[in-house]
Each structure stands twice: as structure tokens, then as C-alpha cells.
Amino acid sequence: MPYRVARHRIQRQNTALRHFIRILYYALHGKPSQLYPLHSGHAFTTFEAAQFHASTLSKQGYYGWILRVQEVRQEDWPEDHWRIDHSRDDAIAWLAQF
């Protein structure tokens, strides 16, 4: 049975369809010998949860930033397909260093 390769297509926004917006927080972290925080782990839905995770990481010797990302999904896109909402200037924000 031959396999067919499905190309990934970039989803375009349609203003006539309903949009869903979510805000997620990431605790980007790395070891002090690294120039930039390299690992993000999973996303948090509240700033307090990301802050708690960041304090746990800092006790383990990591450093980094808490990043806030606003994402958007259109109603005809797949359920797990979200993208950064570039229509806003503050869609990505560095909130706190730990």
C-alpha cells in the first residue's frame, strides 16, 4: 500500500469565522553556563503556576524567564492547531526573570 505524503499547510485567518484566543505562560530555563534559556517544558495557564515552577527550577540551579504568549485558533482549524496572534503588538511578552 503506497503512502501519500500530506503537505503541511499554513493556516490562514478568515475574519468571517469565529476565533478563539488563549494566553499561555512558559518558564524558559537553562543552566548558568548557557548564554540563553533553552528549555521551556510545558505551558501553564496561569502566571502563578509558571512562577511556582520557576521558583522550583531556581532552587535546582536553573535560571531563565517567564514568557507570556497569546495564541489564536480559528473554528475550522484542527483542535490542536494554535498560532501566535501576530495581530497584537504584545502577543509575546517577557514577564519576569528568575
Give the tens place of pLDDT for each residue, 35-83.
776 777 889 999 999 999 999 999 998 888 899 999 999 888 888 888 8
Backbone angles phi, psi at 88, to 5 degrees: -110, 140
pLDDT above 70: percentage of residues in the chain: 87
Burial category of 82 from C-beta neighbours within 10 Å (exposed 0-12, middle 13-18, buried 19 and up): buried
C-alpha distance from residue 10 to each of 1, 35, 36, 41, 77 (Å) = 28, 32, 29, 25, 10
Judge contact between 98 and 66, C-beta under 8 A. yes
Maximum Cα–Cα distance across the chain: 53
Whether this prediction's pTM lies above 0.95 is answered by no
Report d(CA 48, CA 56) in Å as an integer: 12
Report d(CA 20, CA 26) in Å as an integer: 20
Q: Write down the pLDDT at residue 8.
A: 57
